[in-house]
Chain A
Amino acid sequence: MGKLSVSEPGASNESKYSIFQLAGYIFGLTLSDVKEIVPLPRITGIPNVHPSILGVFNLRGQIISILDLRRLLNLEINPVSTKSFILIITLKNMFFGIYVDKVLDVLSVDELKIQIPTRDLALPFLSYVKGVYEDKRLGNIYMMDIEAIINSKEVRQYRF
C-alpha cells in the first residue's frame, strides 16, 4: 500500500489544479483543461463584440481569442497590466485564452475537500463556480466551471 501510495500519490481522489488570481479572488482550474501559460501578448481588439471578448492574439501562428472573465463574473475592472498572463484553455477541441492577473501555483487538491458553494457565500460569480477549496496558504480557492463559462449566453453567441 505504502509503495502504491508513493508511486501514485492521491491516486484515488487527488487531481491537479492550476491556481491563478483575478481581481483579488483566487481561482482554480483543472490542469487537464489548461494547455499552456503565456505572458500577456500584444492583443488585437475586435469591434462590435461583447466586452467579455478582450480580443485576439497570435500564438505561434494560431489565432487565439481571449475571454475577459472579469466582465463575465462581474468583478472589479482594473486597467490591463503588462505583467498579466493568458491561460490557454483546450476544451472539446476548442482553443481560447483567458486573461488572469497572476498565475500562483499548480496544486494537487483532494477532490473530497472541495465543498459545494452555497448561496451564503454571496459571490457575484456563483453560477460559474463548481466548488470552494480552503487552502492553508492561499485561503479560499474558487474552482471555476469552465463549461458553464463557455455555455454562458455572452460566450455562446460567438461559438461555432
Chain B
Amino acid sequence: MKSTSSSIKRNFIIALFPLIILLVLVIGYFSYQQQSAHVIDAKQLHLSQLASYAAVSFDPVVISRIKTQADMETEPYKKIQTIVSYFTSKAEDDSYRLLLLRKNNNATEIVMDSRNQNAIGQSYDFIKEMSDALRSNQTTTRQAKLPDGHRIFAYAPIPTAASEANVVLMIEQNIKSALPSFFRTLLIPGIAGVFILLVLFVISIREGKRIDRSINFITDNCKRLSKGEFFKKPEDDSLYLEEIDTVLRSLQDSLKGAKESGTEREKIQKQITELLRIVSSAAEGDFTITANVTADTLGALADSFNLMISDLSELVRDAKKAAEQVATSTEGILLNIEAMAQGAADQASQTETISNFGKEMAQLINETNQSAIRAAEAAHNAKSVAERGSEIVKKSIMGMHNIRDSVRDASRQVRLLGEHSTRIGEISDFIGEIASRTNLLALNASIEAARAGDAGRGFSVVADEIRNLAERSSNSADEISKLIADVQTGISKTMAAIENGSKEVSEGTQLVDSAGEALREILGSVEISTSSSVEISKGTQEQTRFSEKIVSTLDHIAGIAKETAEGAKRSKESATQLEYLSKNLNQAVAKFRLAQ
C-alpha cells in the first residue's frame, strides 16, 4: 500500500511547484518595477536640479551669436566650454552629456555638445519637452529606453533679460548602472518560495502515511466479516481508527436481524381469495355487496375497498344527474349558438359599413392635406412679399433721411439769409442816421445863410437842396427798414415751416420704422404659419396612414365576424353531437345497480 501516499506526493508537487514559481516571479517583477521607478524619479529630480543650476551659468547672448566652427576660437565660447567640461568632470563615469541647443523656428541646432566638439551648427530634433521648457520657462524632463541603456534627459531654458528664451541646456544621463538588477530583486521571494515548498512537502509525506493505515484497517476488517469472524480492534488508540470501528460494528448488527419470519403467509392467501371474489362482482357493476373487515392488514384493505365502492356509487349517481343536466343545457346552447351566428352576420355587415365610412374619411383627410400644402405655398408667397415690403421700407427710410438732410440744409441757408437781412437793416439804419445828421447840418446851414442876409441867399438854396436830399434818403432808409422787417417775418415763418417739415419728416421716419417693424413681425408670423401648415400636412399624412390602418383593421374584423358565424355553425354541430353523447352517457350509467 505504498502507492497511495506516493501518488499524493507526486500530484501535490506537480500542482504546487509551478504555482509557487509563478508567484515568486510575479512578486519579484513588481518589486523590481517599483524599485526602478523610484530610482528613475530620484535621478530625474537630481538631473533637473543640476540642469536648472547649470543653465544660470551660461550667457544666452553669446550662445545666440555663435554660428560657425570659427566662433569656437572666441573667448566667450571657450568660457562656455570650460563650464561644460567642469560639469562633465563632476560625474564619476562617462554618463553625463551636455548639449546647448538654440531654437531656430521649428528646428533646433546644436551650439555645443560635450561629446562631439564639431557638432556646432548641426540640427537636433525639436521635441515637445523643449518647447514646453521654453514656453513655461521651467526645466522639463524626459526618459527613454535605448538599446545601450536607460537614459534620462533634462531641458533647462537659459534665462534671458529680454522676452522669451530661445536657448536650452540639455543634460543627458545614462542610468544603466544605477538601476537595480532584476535577479537580485528576485532573490528574497525565491528563498521564501523554496522554504514554503519544503514545508508543504514534509506535511504531504505525513498525511499520506495516515491515509495508508486507515485503508489497511478497513480492508482487514472487511475480510474478517466475509469469513464470519469478529472484528479486530485498532492496534493503537488513534482517534480516526476508532470512528471507523463504530461504523463497522453497526453494519454487523443490522445483518443479523435479516434471517427471521415465514409462517403467516398461508393465512393471508385465504383472505386475498375472498376479497378477489367481491372485487370481481363489483367490477361487473354490482355495488350492493361489501367486503368483510378483519383486524389484520388485509382488513384495512377491505375497509378501503368498501369506502371506494360507496364513493363510486355516489359518483355514478352524480353522473346520472349530470347527464340529464347536460341534455337540457345542450338544448339551450343550441339556441344560443343560433343567436350568435345571427349576431356575427350582423356584425360583419355593420363592420363593412364602418369600413366604407373610414375610406370616405381617408378621402377627406387627403383633401385637408392638399389644403395644408396650398396654405404653406400661400404663406411662402406672403413671406416673399413681406420681404420685398421690408426692402421698400428700408429704401423709404433712406429717402426720409435724405429729406431730413435737405431740410436741415435749407434751414441753415434761411438762417444765413436772416442774418444777412439783419445786417442790411443795420446798414439802412446807419444810412438813416447819416441822413438825419445831414438834415441837421442843412438846417444849421440855412440858419447861418439866413443870418448872413442877402449874401447867404444862394447858400440857403443849396442848403435847402441838401436837406431835401437828406429827407429823401431818410425816407428810403425807412422804406428799406420796413421791407427788411417784412423779410424777417417771412424768414421766421419759413423757419417755422421748415421746423414743422423736419418734425413731420422725423415723425414719418418713425412711422416708416414702425411699418418696417410690423413687416418684420409679419415675416415672423408668416414663418410660423408656414411651419404650422407643414406640421398640419405631416399630421394629415399620419391621419391618412391611421385611417388606412383603421380600414384594414375593420376589414379584418369583418373577416373575424364571418369566421365567428362559421364557428357558430360548427359549434351547433358540436352541440348536436354533445346531445347525442349525453344520451349515450345516460344509457351507460343505467347499467350500474346501486345500494339504496
Contact = CB atoms under 8 A, between A and B. Distances in A.
Interface of A: 8, 16, 18, 31-32, 34-39, 83, 85, 103, 105-106
Given A36-B444, A105-B467, 5 more contacts: A31-B447, A31-B450, A37-B444, A83-B436, A106-B467
Contacts of A37: 440, 443-444, 447
15 contacts: A18-B447, A31-B450, A31-B451, A32-B450, A36-B447, A37-B443, A39-B437, A39-B440, A83-B436, A103-B439, A105-B467, A106-B443, A106-B446, A106-B450, A106-B464
A35 to B, nearest CB: 7
Contact of A35 (B446, B447, B454): B447
Contacts of B451: 31-32
A8 B464 CA distance: 17
Contacts of A103: 439-440, 443
Q: List 8 A-B pairs, minimum CB-CB distance, nearest first.
A: A106-B446, A31-B450, A16-B450, A37-B443, A37-B444, A103-B443, A34-B447, A36-B444
A105 B464 CA distance: 9
Most interface-central of A35, A103, A106 (chain B CB within 10 A): A106
Nearest to A39: B440
Q: Per DSSP, are chain A's interface residues mostly helix, strand or loop, or mixed?
A: strand
Interface string B437-466: 101100110110011001000000000100
Interface residues of B, number: 13
A77 B274 CA distance: 181
A85 B450 contact: no
Nearest to B446: A106
Contacts of A32: 450-451
Contacts of A31: 447, 450-451
Contacts of B436: 83
A36 B439 CA distance: 13
Contacts of A83: 436
Contacts of B444: 36-37
Contacts, number: 32
B87 to A, nearest CB: 108
Nearest to B439: A103
Nearest to A90: B451
A5 B439 CA distance: 28
A37 B444 CA distance: 6
B447 A106 contact: yes
Most interface-central of A18, A36, A37 (chain B CB within 10 A): A37
A106 to B, nearest CB: 5
A38 B450 CA distance: 17
Contacts of A85: 440
Nearest to A30: B450
Nearest to B445: A106
Contacts of B443: 18, 37, 103, 106
Contacts of A38: 440
A1 B235 CA distance: 214
Contacts of B440: 37-39, 85, 103
Contacts of B467: 105-106
B293 to A, nearest CB: 168
A38 B436 CA distance: 12
A142 to B, nearest CB: 19
Nearest to A31: B450
Contacts of A16: 450
Nearest to A19: B443
A62 B312 CA distance: 179
Most interface-central of B439, B443, B464 (chain A CB within 10 A): B443
A85 B436 CA distance: 11
Contacts of B464: 106
A108 B454 CA distance: 14
A103 B437 CA distance: 12
A85 to B, nearest CB: 7
Contacts of B450: 16, 31-32, 106
A137 to B, nearest CB: 12
A24 B450 CA distance: 27
A126 B443 CA distance: 27
A158 B482 CA distance: 46
A25 to B, nearest CB: 19
A144 to B, nearest CB: 16
A1 B443 CA distance: 30
A7 to B, nearest CB: 8
A115 B113 CA distance: 142
A36 B447 CA distance: 7
Contacts of B447: 18, 31, 34-37, 106
Interface string B25-46: 0000000000000000000000
A28 B561 CA distance: 142
A91 to B, nearest CB: 14
A26 to B, nearest CB: 15
Contacts of A36: 444, 447
Nearest to B453: A32
Nearest to A9: B457
Contacts of A105: 467
A103 B447 CA distance: 12
A85 B444 CA distance: 12
A83 B440 CA distance: 12
Contacts of B454: 8
Most interface-central of A38, A83, A105 (chain B CB within 10 A): A105
Contacts of A106: 443, 446-447, 450, 464, 467
A18 B467 CA distance: 14
Nearest to A104: B443
Contacts of A35: 447
A74 to B, nearest CB: 27
Contacts of A8: 454
A84 to B, nearest CB: 12
Interface string B494-529: 000000000000000000000000000000000000
